[in-house]
Amino acid sequence: MTNKKAMSPVEWTHLVLGVAIVFGSIVRFLPGLMAGFPLNDGGMFLSMIRDLADSRYALPEFTSYNQLQIPFAYPPFGFYVARLLSDLLNIPELDLLRWLPPLVNSLSILAFYLLASELLKSKLLSVLASAFYALTPGAFGWFVMGGGLTRSFGSLFLLLAVFSVLRLFQTGQGKFVGLAALFCGLTVLSHPEAGVHTAATCFLVWLFFGRTVKSFVNAVIVGVGVVLVTSPWWGTILAYHGLAPFLSALSSGSYGIPVWRALTGMILGRESYIPILAVLRLIGLGWGIWKKEYFLVTWAVVPYLVEPRSAPSVVFYPFCMLIALAFAEAIPFFASRLRKIPVATGELYKSKTCNALLFLVLIYLFVESGLYGFRLVNNSLKPAEVEAMTWIKENTPEGASFLILTGVKSPEIDPFIEWFPALVERRSLSTVQGYEWLGPGRFMGYYSDLAALQGCELMGCVEDWLVRTGLDHQYVVVHSAQVDDGLSKAFAESGSYRRIYNEGKIEIYESVTP
């Protein structure tokens, strides 16, 4: 009987990377497949994609979303890709918002592998990091939603930009000047916060790997290239609106949580019932400091200093690499010290114990990611909600304004509120999306106002809110699934409103006040 030949390092890395790509793609595509509609958000982006059709691909001055004259200042790369695919392949815009985000985010697994290979200088470590990147429950959530159309492109190009800049500083080759300028520019054109994080990370790369005159000159050339690549967008916005939309967007971030608390929350985050990743992150962070992996450790902190709101999605990259170091180096090292048996970390692929442990961990993370996907499905529009919106579009005046009560105090996780203006093409007084471009402080101020509105349990509270904000409306939509029963009953019994629709826990009232 012949012994089975052991896998070579190349075969092992190909196997683990293949598992990461295949199973990582499955958990990204499955929620959209089950939901039958783009997950969570993306309503404003649907309007912007359709606006490009109306403008024949010219950058519009305003978006039609919510009839608020919102400047069309959002980085438009994803919208143009979706518009082009819809026109060339005759794919409905809603289907593109459903499938493009998970597709692009699945491609990010390969981009992450390229970057990890350069930073960790080990195929074994880089495929391990990629597997954890692909299968961490919840880490892909915001990128596979409808609004992930821009976030997923931003993430993909951020990884490719940092990889290109790192290779440029390491080799000095001219081709990486062009690639770095291209990918940095595409990041800026894809997502505003991704552009900020890319600039900060590339500066960090220069500090650790490129402090030479030649690297500085190359960095300046890349910067000029980024300005040129992005100039058609920002030049048009400046011509339309000046700096106002950009200054407004800069004031809409969330900076209220101390860095140490946000970072601690990320490290100890419970993505799964068994805190495997939290333990590995702690071990990896300590090991990284001990082994002087200062770039990864610093990169895990800097995003919270630069742009705290989206920092968790960026620090996830260095932490996946630190997790790989914990799994492949730190744990075997301490195990060997306890057992007094030397372990060659570069040959862990030969260890049946390590392979079995890795297999169990990845299977567990895959299952947890699948369960997380079910939670995403629950946060998408249901057929009854779409039917109600269709009815409103067909049976109410085009210029009508709607007050929508859902009971959800966080607008960013309320799909009904966000999709309403796009699908109904009417004004929603309860929608905050787009306010980040309307003036400094308006987004956070209206966000607080809407949280107060959705917390109302009495009709008097709603009326006081309308008086305080000075907003006028012709219709009220009550989504009774989460709204207090007493509030729904108050509208039904009020002489100031007439119920005109009542299906699937959605009630629509027309104001009849003289």
At 177-234, the pLDDT tens digits run: 999 999 999 999 999 999 999 999 999 999 999 889 999 999 999 999 999 999 999 9
Mean pLDDT of 428-436: 95
Q: Count up the domains in the chain and report the number.
A: 2
What pLDDT score does 343 carry? 61
The parent domain of residue 361 ranges over: 18-376
Regarding predicted confidence, which is higher, 364 or 7? 364
Residue 233 and residue 80: Cα distance in Å, rounded?
12
**Do residue 311 and residue 459 come from a single domain?**
no
11 in a domain, yes or no?
Answer: no
Question: Can you tell me whether residue 401 is helix, strand or coil?
Answer: strand
The verdict on residue 2 lying in a domain is no
Of 307 and 199, the one with more pLDDT: 199
The tokens of 513 are what?
């006040």
Domain contains 312: yes
pTM of the full structure: 0.94
pLDDT score of 13 more than 60: yes
Give the distance between the most distant pair of CA atoms in the chain: 93
The pLDDT value recorded for residue 259 is 73
Q: Does 482 share its domain with 341? A: no
Q: How confident is the model at residue 1 (pLDDT cuts 50, 70, 90)?
A: very low
Which ranges in 191-270 belong to alpha helices (H)? 192-209, 213-241, 244-250, 259-267
Is the same domain home to 33 and 90? Answer: yes
410 vs 323 pLDDT, higher one: 323
Direct distance between the N- and C-terminal alpha carbons of the chain, in angstroms, rounded to an integer: 93
Is the domain of 60 the same as that of 177? yes
Mean residue pLDDT across the chain = 92
Q: Percentage of the chain with pLDDT > 90?
A: 77
Q: Are 478 and 488 in contact (CB under 8 A)?
A: yes
Is residue 414 domain-shared with residue 449, that is, in the same domain?
Answer: yes
Please check whether residues 388 and 241 belong to one and the same domain: no
Residues 147 and 268 in one domain: yes
Q: Are residues 329 and 427 in the same domain?
A: no
Q: Which amino acid is at 345?
A: T
Domain annotation covers residue 177: yes
Task: Mark whether 361 and 399 lie in a shared domain.
Answer: no
- Structural domain includes residue 4: no
Same domain, 474 and 350: no
Answer yes or no: is pLDDT of 309 > 70. yes
Statement to judge: residues 236 and 311 lie in one domain: yes
**Chosen domain end from 323, 348, 376:** 376
Indicate if 420 and 341 belong to the same structural domain. no
Instruction: Name the pLDDT band for 345 (thresholds 50, 70, 90).
Output: low
Q: Domain boundary residue among 324, 347, 376?
A: 376
- Look at 17-21, 230-234, 348-352 and tell me which has the smallest mean pLDDT: 348-352
316 in a structural domain: yes
* pLDDT tens for each residue of 24-47: 999 999 999 999 999 999 999 999
pLDDT of 488 reads: 87
CA atoms within 13 A on the CB side of 220: 6
Per-residue pLDDT tens digits for 164-180 = 999 999 999 989 999 99
pLDDT at 504: 81
Residue 59 lies in a domain: yes
CA atoms lying within 13 Å on the CB side of residue 34? 19
Last residue of a domain, one of 333, 353, 376: 376
| Residue 9, domain member (yes or no) | no
2 or 327, greater pLDDT: 327
The residues near 330 (Cβ < 8 Å, ≥ 6 apart) are 283, 284, 286, 287
Is 508 strand, coil or helix?
strand
